[in-house]
């Protein structure tokens, strides 16, 4: 029920923005992008491939799936993230589940997914802090967008401080959250994770983030490349629309929208909220509200295209025959690598 309520609220906001800005103006602005949409689609696919490669680096080399299968896992998670009520709260576990179907151990699969998400989130937070700081310096003191910018900066800075402190001091933060969650009246009946398994999972995660600098550097580099692809998208759209912009504007825009998927995770695809954020940013930068809406709409269309491919990938990966899940759990407990075949590690079936 709530999913429908939030979806309808987002749709109402989207329709309101269209009515306010004018269908004709928006249509002309989007049409100006023309063939460059395929460039944008290619850049977004590059973003997904960079993140898939980063996910592969979180998995031990002997258990690492083929790159094509990592891309399929990544696109499957993107489809879930974009189409369901819980967004990343379900999308990330789905990636871990798909990796286990490819033969990766449960601990390595879910530890790798969380490590990938954390590193990307760290970089997103830093990009957002720098971008929103630059935006705050461009707008008049006391303006609403300046207040919002500093509020978001404060939240993101707090997230970075807590996360970095937990990693540096080896604090088992995830286990603490799970224990706290298990005490809640309704959720507690559903959370049945074993404390020892959670501790082992966090040990592997902390080992990757603290004790394997070469792998962490590779993951960070690939995640940075993924962000660069998205900034390049903004450059392409601004140039296609013939707008006069400062060199820092694409960086500010991309940094300014980083918090949107998390802040509005309860709205499938952040429908309406994402477009509203783009409109606010473009208006503050003097680039025009219609152009901001157009960038948001174009990104939504290319995300839908990729999500459609992701749904096909999810159907393929989740529909393949394999040994039962209980068999894999027993093999992990026994210390064996289920599905391992040769020195190159397990592979998804073709």
Structure tokens at 255: 């940094």
pLDDT-based confidence at 349, cuts 50/70/90?
A: very low
pLDDT at residue 47 is higher than 90: yes
CA dihedral 91, 231, 118, 326 (to 10 degrees): 30
Mean pLDDT value of segment 275-282: 87
Whole-number pLDDT of residue 34: 82
More reliable by pLDDT, 48 or 165: 48
- Delimit the domains of the chain by residue range: 26-328
pLDDT at residue 80 is higher than 70: yes
Residue with tokens 């937990």: 166
Whole-number pLDDT of residue 20: 58
CA pair distance 161, 182, nearest whole angstrom: 25
More reliable by pLDDT, 162 or 32: 162
Whole-number pLDDT of residue 106: 81
Q: Calculate the alpha carbon distances from 296 to 21, 118, 243 in Å.
A: 14, 25, 16
pLDDT at residue 337 is higher than 50: no
At 206-240, the pLDDT tens digits run 777 777 888 889 999 999 999 999 999 999 999 98
**Range picked from 170-184, 204-218, 232-246 for highest mean pLDDT:** 232-246
What's the pTM value of the predicted model, to 2 decimals? 0.79
pLDDT at residue 54 is higher than 90: yes
pLDDT-based confidence at 192, cuts 50/70/90?
A: low
> How is 12-65 classified by DSSP, letter by letter?
HHHHHHHHHH-HHHHHHHHHHHTTHHHHHHHHHHHHHHHHHHHHHHTS-GGGPP
Structure tokens at 280: 């606010």
Whole-number pLDDT of residue 110: 83
Structure tokens at 256: 């300014």
Calculate what percentage of the chain has a pLDDT beyond 90: 24
Whole-number pLDDT of residue 228: 96
Whole-number pLDDT of residue 5: 53
């Amino acid at each position: 029920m709530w999913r429908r309520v939030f979806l309808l609220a987002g749709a109402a906001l989207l329709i309101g923005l269209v009515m306010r800005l004018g269908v004709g103006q928006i249509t002309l602005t989007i049409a100006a992008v023309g063939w460059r949409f395929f460039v944008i689609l290619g850049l977004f696919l590059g973003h997904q491939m960079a993140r898939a490669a980063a996910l592969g680096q979180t998995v031990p080399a002997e258990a690492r799936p083929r790159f094509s299968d990592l891309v399929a896992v990544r696109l499957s998670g993107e489809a879930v993230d974009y189409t369901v009520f819980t967004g990343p709260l379900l999308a990330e576990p789905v990636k871990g589940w798909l990796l286990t179907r490819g033969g990766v151990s449960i601990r390595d699969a879910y530890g790798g997914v969380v490590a990938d998400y954390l590193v990307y989130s760290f970089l997103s937070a830093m990009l957002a802090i720098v971008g929103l700081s630059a935006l705050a310096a461009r707008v008049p003191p006391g303006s609403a967008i300046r207040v919002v910018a500093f509020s978001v900066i404060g939240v993101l800075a707090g997230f970075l401080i807590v996360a970095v402190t937990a990693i540096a001091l080896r604090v088992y933060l995830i286990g603490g959250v799970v224990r706290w969650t298990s005490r809640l009246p309704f959720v507690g009946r559903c959370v049945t994770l074993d404390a020892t398994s959670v501790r082992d999972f966090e040990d592997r995660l902390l080992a990757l983030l603290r004790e394997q600098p070469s792998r962490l550097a590779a993951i960070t580099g690939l995640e940075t490349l993924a962000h660069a692809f998205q900034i390049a998208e903004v450059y392409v759209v601004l140039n296609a629309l013939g707008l006069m912009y400062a060199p820092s504007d694409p960086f500010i825009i991309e940094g300014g929208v980083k918090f949107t998927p998390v802040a509005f995770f309860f709205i499938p695809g952040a429908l309406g909220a994402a477009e509203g954020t783009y409109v606010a940013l473009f208006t503050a930068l003097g680039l025009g509200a219609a152009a901001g809406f157009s960038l948001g709409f174009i990104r939504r269309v290319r995300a839908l295209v990729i999500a459609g491919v992701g749904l096909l990938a999810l159907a393929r990966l989740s529909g393949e025959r394999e040994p039962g899940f209980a068999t894999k759990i027993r093999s992990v407990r026994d210390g064996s690598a289920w599905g391992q075949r040769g020195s190159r590690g397990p592979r998804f079936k073709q």
